[in-house]
Structure 1
Amino acid sequence: MTKNHPSNTDPASAPLVITQRTPGGLGLITLNRPKALNALSLQMIRLLTDALRGWQHDAGIHAVAIRGMGKAGEGFAPFGAFCAGGDIRFFHQAALAADEALGDFFTEEYALNHLIHTYGKPYIAFMDGIVMGGGMGLSQGGSLRVVTERTKMAMPETRIGLFPDVGGGWFLSRTPGHVGEWLALTGHVLKGDEAVPARLADGCVASAELPALWQHLADTAWDSGAAVQRWVAAHFAAGGADQISDRAQIDHYFSLPSMPAIIAALEASSAEWARQTAEELRTRSPLMLHVTLEQIRRARHMALADELRMERDLVYHCFHQRAGADSETVEGIRALAVDKDHAPRWNPARIEDITPEMVARFFVSPWAPKGHPLAGL
């Protein structure tokens, strides 16, 4: 395993994923792609998987902790950004080139998400800064999920014509009430103290404390993983938000039976919150809003492995039901990250134009059960 580099070393000279096995029995992981806000590449997914599998049954490793390298002005500093998601520019290029590595990316990422959820040892995620998409996949399966006042947490995939993957259906559907539907459909960004009542984090610490906490983890001889976890949890700040703002409105509107019903009720309301939420939803992919709502509601009653297999089916259809530039996802990425005109040409263009048949096609697996890419989960 690679040793952790000093903070004054240029991260560009270090691996994309830095791993350290401490004498005290910890496995420490630093995501090290700060210029891209630690967006995940296939190489990073493979490095993470190799490290975690290597430590999983190693009696000398009691627990694992993971953080992201952040940008500080023109320099770099530990923490400040966890992971902004997957490398969506790669998705765009690979889809247009019909590159098989695109399928490998999602298969291996979802297998990594499952590994984290079922790890069997304490896995502590320090979710400072941006935690979106793939970053949620690296953290939500952790046994201890730590946020700060700088945390910006979201599953914003409907903005790019995708759906909340990396187990998003599973963990969002287990938030209180109908918060999961709201977060999945709108991509709303939660602050750190809001993530705790949403059940997407376990506690909040001040970002200024993180370097010292991490150093103590590295320098201490630990008796057990449980001791590591208790020590970190003892640093959680008291107080913070005890509930999610607008919870009553969220449950009222996002419990409605369909996307047309949700948008109609929001637009019929005179409340400012409802009006703004409707405007936000109108900018998202209408097709993927329908697919996402169905995903969340199915996932609420599914085991994790089954839900991840469903997501693998969904992402296949996102890129293959309409191939190349005709893909809703490719168009969404083009508008947000390639041309950056922020004017996606969604097809169909309106929430009301989506038929049940269009949605149902996404939930038909292209693989027989034994041949599924995630059959081994």
Structure 2
Amino acid sequence: MSDKTETTTNTNTNTGTGTAAAAAAPEVLTEVRGQVGFITLNRPKALNALSLGMVRELMRTLLAWRQDPQVLAVAIRGSNKEGAFGAFCAGGDIRFLHRAGTEGNPQLEDFFTEEYALNHLIHHYGKPYIAFMDGIVMGGGMGISQGASLRIVTERTRMAMPETAIGLFPDVGGGYFLSRCPGHVGEWLALTGNTIGAADAVAAKLADGSMASADQAAVWEALGTQSFGDGAAVQQWVESKLIATSPGGISARSQIDHYFGLPDVPAIMAALEAAADDDWCRSTAATLRQRSPLMLFVVLEQIRRARAMNLADDLRMERDMVRHCFHLRPGQSETLEGIRALAVDKDHAPRWNPARIEDVSAATARAFFDSPWPAHAHPLATLAG
């Protein structure tokens, strides 16, 4: 590979959803400059939401660079309507998921299998993988950044796993990385879907350090012009550009640990609502009442099971769960209903089934953890560790 190579791909053609206008705009930009491979997510109008084509191009690129001795490290960023940075990745393309789930398009299954395999690859990449997590970092954006060897946030970072708001669960390895947050912060983030900024992301162990957003472009450009002895030197050079910050704690940490450490969702809700004179408790309870009651049960179980799992086992569990999200109850998918309300009809009035936490059957929630496949035939059977 030459000192500067560039590959662009129009990922719309891979899902058959692109228009001629969209075909002119590649959604993933990749190049090698010097000793570093650079990836820019280039779907700014959709906040770089991941399509199946983008997942495939990321996988293809990372596999190629893993074997390329010229590439010592990888850097990834997003883009916004004004240019580079400003928005990392808002998650998966939920409109595609709704359409594919409604129409029975088999690419729905491909998307999740291939996305989770990509998440696993990033966690086990073997070369420094440096994520510039500027702006929106949610859902699938967390999946392609949490496995990074260096996770950089800025004052503009808005991080969340908001899946319970669309009748889904924090997938892409969310069980694994959220369950490893301090105390019960993982349960709080997973159930509420609340958004956190840079300081809380570092405190929650979901980021390694901060950089001023205004400094990112210079660091990015300089990465391609420096001479490095090895991949570790690349990462150390970037680390030297991070802002020194005093260690801080997550706000309301004691309340988070108290309430979200309770044994089940009804107990959490009862305790929060019993403390209605406390603003934090009242606000948190109100948020949970807006989420899918069924998926709150599922998600709490997910996070707690994942604490004892390695990444591969967690991803296999999540692959089982996502299959059930679309097929466990024919015609009654919480996920399709949640996406409909948020992104299709945009009435923001999901008709959850059941409608109340008090009416959720624990048996229905447990069924999400029954694998549809024997172990040898699981779509992610080959993932290790």
Of the three residues 11, 16, 38, the one matched with 2:27 is 16
Q: In 2, Cα distance between the equivalents of 1:268 and 1:172?
A: 27
Task: Report the identity percentage.
Answer: 65
3-state DSSP of counterpart to 1:175: coil
Q: Distance in 1 between matches of 2:246 and 2:355?
A: 40
- The Cα of 1:2 is off from its aligned counterpart by 2.5
The residue that corresponds to 2:58 in the other structure is 48
Q: Distance in 2 between matches of 1:14 and 1:281?
A: 39
Please show how residues 67-216 of structure 1 align to structure 2 within 5 Å. 67-71=77-81, 76-216=82-222
Quick check: 1:312 aligned with 2:322?
no
User: Aligned partner of 1:40: which letter?
Assistant: L
Correspondence for 1:226: 232
Q: What SS does structure 2 have at the residue aligned with 1:29? A: strand
In structure 2, C-alpha distance between the alignment counterparts of 1:2 and 1:44, rounded to whole Å: 16
Does 2:294 correspond to 1:287?
yes
Q: Which residue of 2 aligns with 1:328?
A: 334
Matched, 1:57 2:67: yes
**3-state DSSP class of the match of 2:78?**
strand
Query: 1:14: Cα distance to partner?
Result: 4.2
Instruction: State the alpha-carbon separation in 1 of the partners of residues 38 and 174 from structure 2.
Output: 25
The CA RMSD measured in Å over matched residues stands at 1.5
In 2: Cα distance, 1:188 partner to 1:234 partner: 31
Q: How does 1:240-251 map to 2 (within 5 A)?
A: 242-251=248-257
Residue 237 (structure 1) shift? 1.0
Amino acid aligned to 2:30: T
What is the CA-CA distance between 1:240 and the residue it aligns to? 5.4
Q: Structure 1 residue 33 and structure 2 residue 39: aligned?
A: no
CA distance in structure 2 between the aligned counterparts of 1:305 and 1:285, rounded to whole angstroms: 27
How far 1:84 sits from its partner (Å)?
0.2
**In structure 1, C-alpha distance between the alignment counterparts of 2:170 and 2:113, rounded to whole Å:** 15
Pairing 1:271–2:281 present? no
Look up the equivalent residue of 1:277 and give its one-letter code: T
Alpha-carbon spacing, 1:323–1:362, altered in 2? closer, same or farther (3 Å) = same
Give the gaps of 5 or more residues in structure 1: none
2:362 match = 356
Q: Does 1:298 align with 2:305?
A: yes
State the SS of the aligned residue for 1:64: strand
Shift, 1:193, TM fit: 1.7
Contact 2:8 2:28 in 1 (8 A): no
Report how far residue 194 of structure 1 moved.
1.4
Cα deviation, residue 322, structure 1: 2.1
Q: 2:258, 2:65 → 1: CA distance? A: 45
The secondary structure found in structure 2 opposite 1:196 is: helix
Asked if the contact 1:313/1:366 (under 8 Å) is kept, the reply is yes
Structure 1 SS opposite 2:159: strand
| SS of alignment partner, residue 242 of structure 2 | coil
Secondary structure at the residue paired with 1:242? coil
Distance in structure 1 (CA, Å) of the matches to 2:27 and 2:42: 5
Distance 2:36 2:231 in 1: 8
Secondary structure of the corresponding residue to residue 287 of structure 2: helix
Equivalent position of 2:17 in the other structure: none
Structure 1 stretches of 4+ moved >2 Å: 1-5, 10-14
TM-fit CA distance, 1:120: 0.6
2-side partners of 1:204 and 1:305: how far apart?
29
Alignment-mate amino acid for residue 171 of structure 2: D
Instruction: Give the TM-score of the pair, scaled to structure 2.
Output: 0.93
Q: Number of paired residues? A: 367
Q: 1:67 to 1:105 in 2, by over 3 A?
A: same
Structure 1 residue matching 2:77: 3-state secondary structure: strand
Give me the whole-angstrom Cα distance separating, in 2, the residues matched to 1:4 and 1:47.
9
The alpha-carbon distance between structure 1 residues 137 and 215, as it changes in their structure 2 partners (threshold 3 A), is: same
The alignment's TM-score, normalised by the length of structure 1, stands at: 0.95
- Taking the aligned partners of 1:238 and 1:367, their CA distance within structure 2 comes to 48
How many Å apart are 1:183 and its aligned residue?
A: 0.2
Deviations 1:96-155 (A, max 9, x none): 100100000000000000000000110000000000000000000000000000000000
CA-to-aligned-CA distance 1:61-88 (integer Å, 9 cap, x gap): 10000000112xxxx2110000000000
Q: Which residue of 1 aligns with 2:13?
A: none
Asked whether the equivalents of residues 193 and 240 of structure 1 are also in contact (C-alpha less than 8 Å), the reply is no
Please state how far the C-alpha of 1:12 moved relative to its aligned partner.
Answer: 7.8
Counterpart-to-counterpart distance in 1, 2:8 and 2:204: 33
| C-alpha deviation, 1:323, in angstroms | 3.1
- Indicate the SS of the match to 1:44: helix
